[in-house]
Amino acid sequence: MKFICEKNKLQEAISVTQKAVTGKSAMPILQGLLIDASEGKITITGSDIDLSIETKIDANIIENGKVVVDARLFGDIVRKLPNSSIEISSATDNSIEIICEKTKFNLIHMSADDFPVLPSIDEKNIFSIEQKLLKNMIRGTIFAIAQEESRPILTGVLVEIKDGRINLVALDGYRLALKSEAIDSDGSIKAVIPGKTLNEVVKILEDEGVVNITFTSNHILINLGDTKIISRLLEGEFIKYTSIIPEEYSLKITVERNKILNCIERASLVAKEGNTNLIKFDINDEFMVLTSNSQLGNVREELNIILQGEPLQIAFNAKYMIDLLKIMDEEEIYMEFSSSVSPCVVKNKQDDNCTYLVLPVRLLNN
Amino acid sequence: MKFICEKNKLQEAISVTQKAVTGKSAMPILQGLLIDASEGKITITGSDIDLSIETKIDANIIENGKVVVDARLFGDIVRKLPNSSIEISSATDNSIEIICEKTKFNLIHMSADDFPVLPSIDEKNIFSIEQKLLKNMIRGTIFAIAQEESRPILTGVLVEIKDGRINLVALDGYRLALKSEAIDSDGSIKAVIPGKTLNEVVKILEDEGVVNITFTSNHILINLGDTKIISRLLEGEFIKYTSIIPEEYSLKITVERNKILNCIERASLVAKEGNTNLIKFDINDEFMVLTSNSQLGNVREELNIILQGEPLQIAFNAKYMIDLLKIMDEEEIYMEFSSSVSPCVVKNKQDDNCTYLVLPVRLLNN
């Protein structure tokens, strides 16, 4: 193997593919990146078996070949090299030689034969979506996935394509996040993508361009052109989320998102210390009162609202409200309530592309 | 106690005084900030006994008084309040009331009587120095203090004022850092300031203005006007550092700081994994070769230099070289050597305001 490539391109390729290398694997080969030089390109691949990322960059290939090198060390070395051409070649003693200007590294490599083979996916049925839109949808839902492994399916995000729409749904038993957008496709799909995969995908997606997505029964392929992301899907049936979202309400308020977020964040400073992080809403005619207390003190916040319906007292875990209010993007939002023991539904005032739901905390005097 | 003040000023005062609150103390009162309202000002004080910081801000004092509140919680609350006037007053039940626009907090307080009394220091003999210059001198030496507590005196920085100069010196047995500047004073002092104190002082010093310093036999008072920093001094005799710095050399090289720093940083990537972090210099006529190796591979760097004297081979712990090369500010530097077992002295080419010294690592074949 021998090739010459530009430092910047190589550094970027390493940075993208490293995202699939967890560094926690017991298998040393999975701490590595596969470098494959052939056909005028080098292909760099990182994998933890569940998630694999490969990316191609142009290079002057002098001799085909492939090796596996330690991802972190190789990445650190390339990042520190001068901004110039880099020549990489196999040396005799299980090492590669990296030459850049007056710097020469010899780096032990592992055998490319031991590197996991990526599943081959036939890109027949492709869904196309704007990278920016997909990134936005993932960010708008992923915070609501379950952190515990007790119900593995809930550690992923449901992707549902049907009737010309794409829906992303995450829920953890206490709250639900749904983002929905039109998609130019008459296909239909239902798959659950691991949260870990989507966390990395969000970092790779850019603000421009389109991404092509292919599903198989076990895998998703996200194709960005030079970069391909392949992840296994989570097995099992996702919860029928539509039945959870209430269609009616007895109270609807309009409120400025930033103002209620500030109120809840402040109130939770006192509540956090009591470990309940409980915040109470007392919703009245023209304003709502938010209160919270712990052994350290108490707080009372007053907020102007527009109210339609009956006054209500209800309590929430402040964290769940803060999470969704932070991620929403419109300045004015609706909050819909049915009773003090029914979920609260939060929506944008204008765009109906998202629905958030939070279960209340039942108080002793309810 | 009752006063009204501006949120921004209060937030800044909390941020400065919090730096003395370690949060690790077993005494709950030391987790607090003392708020003292009197004479048209409020004085906020944080202390961990060794280090105390007090700062005064203007306020509309309606009733004198003082309380101690939890530093972190009080700081978080004030930071989250709207940018407006804040009214703070004692309530009946061992709590203070914080009112800002439509927000009202009640916060449990502790008794001001339990708060440590700051040593009273008579500001008779004052040394004045530019804040920026002092910050620069601290940054240029503090990295070389000892991290281990086995010789407590070396966990501090020696401040020496004599003959119209101020010297700051830190050393840890492997390296030494000395910064020296002219000072407009005919006084004389020798004191060792704890590294922890200087770490906080560096964050508080600004790029403009002068600071007044007073020493007593046990304390230093750093007076920035509205803010005063009082720290105990370390007890004991500092090492006679002048006898450590060689006055002669058999080899002197001139090298670009940034280039040798990059070479050493790259080389240390391979060396770090071997835990020795050892880097070898082979200094020859017109260039030097830097090499390093471990079980992961090896590296060779070549660097142009200007050489005066005899060629030499010598080895160092890369970290010590990196630390000092990062902190120096001139682009061209001198490195002076006597033998492969004698310390290397590093200086700026132009300004002689700093002297760095690193002990070499003795190699088996020396």
Pair A56, A8 in one domain: yes
ipTM for the predicted complex: 0.89
User: Does the pLDDT of residue B366 top 50, yes or no?
Assistant: no
227-266 in chain A: CB under 8 A from chain B:
262-263, 265-266
Pair B133, B85 in one domain: no
Pair B223, B166 in one domain: yes
The CA distances from residue A38 to A58, A66, A93, A360, B294, in Å, are 10, 9, 22, 58, 30
Amino acid at A114: D
| Best of B263, B272, B296 to mutate (most A CBs within 10 Å, chain A) | B296
Report yes or no: B98 and B55 within 8 Å, Cβ to Cβ. Answer: no
Report yes or no: A304 and A286 within 8 Å, Cβ to Cβ. Answer: yes
Task: Name the residue facing B297 among A81, A108, A296 (closest C-beta).
Answer: A108
The CA distances from residue B328 to A263, A285, A317, A341, B352, in Å, are 47, 65, 51, 64, 12
Largest CA distance in chain B: 81
Specify the length of chain A in residues: 366
SS3 B359: coil
Final residue before a domain boundary, out of A218, A243, A268: A243
Quick one: what percent of chain B has pLDDT higher than 70? Answer: 98
User: Does the pLDDT of residue B274 top 80, yes or no?
Assistant: no
Report yes or no: A126 and A213 within 8 Å, Cβ to Cβ. Answer: yes
Query: What is the span of the domain harbouring residue A259?
Result: 251-358
Residue contact B299–A263, C-beta within 8 A: no
Residue contact A81–B266, C-beta within 8 A: yes
Report yes or no: A336 and A355 within 8 Å, Cβ to Cβ. Answer: no
Q: Which has the higher per-residue pLDDT, B187 or B25? A: B187
**What's the sign of the alpha-carbon dihedral B270, B276, B281, B282?**
negative
> In this predicted structure, what is the pLDDT of residue B189?
95
Q: Which helix (H) or strand (E) holds A86?
A: strand A85-90
Report yes or no: A324 and A335 within 8 Å, Cβ to Cβ. Answer: no
In Å, how far is B258's CA from the nearest CA of chain A?
Answer: 12
In a domain, B363, yes or no: no
In a domain, B264, yes or no: yes
In a domain, B365, yes or no: no
> In this predicted structure, what is the pLDDT of residue B285?
83
Report yes or no: A290 and A279 within 8 Å, Cβ to Cβ. Answer: yes
Pair B181, B80 in one domain: no
| Best of A68, A256, A269 to mutate (most B CBs within 10 Å, chain B) | A269
Pair B215, B289 in one domain: no
Q: What is the pLDDT of residues B52-98, one digit of tens each?
A: 999 999 999 999 999 999 999 999 999 999 999 999 999 988 999 99
Pair B216, B255 in one domain: no
Pair B219, B238 in one domain: yes
Tokens encoding B191: 């004191």
Side-by-side strand order, sheet with B60-63: A312-317, A278-283, A287-294, A297-304, B103-108, B95-100, B85-90, B2-6, B60-63
By C-alpha distance, the chain A residue nearest B293 is A106
As a whole number, mean pLDDT of residues B300-321 equals 96
In a domain, A76, yes or no: yes
Produce one character per residue of B181-215: b if its CB has 16 or more CB atoms within 10 Å, e if not.
bebebeeebebbbbbbbbebbeebbeeeeebebbb
In a domain, B366, yes or no: no
Q: Which residues pair with A307 in a beta bridge?
A: A253
In a domain, A120, yes or no: no
Per-block mean pLDDT, blocks of 10 residues, chain A (366 long): 97 97 85 96 96 97 97 96 97 93 96 94 93 97 94 97 96 96 92 97 96 96 97 96 95 97 94 82 93 93 95 96 96 97 97 96 71
- Which DSSP letter does residue B110 get? B
CA distance A332 to A351: 11
- Which residues from chain B sit within 8 angstroms of residue A70, using beta carbons? 296
Q: How many helices (H) and strands (E) does chain B have?
A: 6, 26
Report yes or no: A316 and A175 within 8 Å, Cβ to Cβ. Answer: no
Final residue before a domain boundary, out of B243, B276, B307: B243
Pair A354, A306 in one domain: yes
As a whole number, mean pLDDT of residues B213-237 equals 96
- Which residues from chain B sit within 8 angstroms of residue A82, using beta carbons? 262
Residue contact B269–A80, C-beta within 8 A: yes
CA distance A43 to A55: 6
Pair B234, B295 in one domain: no
CA distance A18 to A77: 14
In a domain, A363, yes or no: no
The CA distances from residue B153 to A218, B119, B134, B236, in Å, are 63, 22, 21, 6
Pair A259, A234 in one domain: no
- Could you give the number of structural domains in chain B? 3
Residue A228 sits in a domain whose CATH number is 3.10.150.10
Q: How many angstroms from the chain centroid is the CA of residue A50?
A: 15
Any chain A CB within 8 A of the CB of B163?
no
Q: Smallest Cα–Cα separation from A268: which of A229, A308, A314, A317?
A: A317
Pair B185, B155 in one domain: yes
Final residue before a domain boundary, out of A184, A215, A243: A243
Task: Name the residue facing B296 among A104, A108, A302 (closest C-beta).
Answer: A108
Residue contact A297–B102, C-beta within 8 A: no
Q: Smallest Cα–Cα separation from A154: which of A139, A142, A140?
A: A142
Q: Which residues pair with B266 in a beta bridge?
A: none
Any chain A CB within 8 A of the CB of B106?
yes
Pair A43, A130 in one domain: no
Which residues are CB-neighbours of A217 under 8 A, at least 6 positions away?
A233
Any chain A CB within 8 A of the CB of B305?
no
In a domain, A289, yes or no: yes
Residue contact B105–A299, C-beta within 8 A: yes
CA distance A185 to A129: 10
Q: What is the pLDDT of residues A249-285, one digit of tens each?
A: 999 999 999 999 999 999 999 887 666 799 999 998 8
Q: Smallest Cα–Cα separation from A297: which of B177, B141, B108, B223?
A: B108
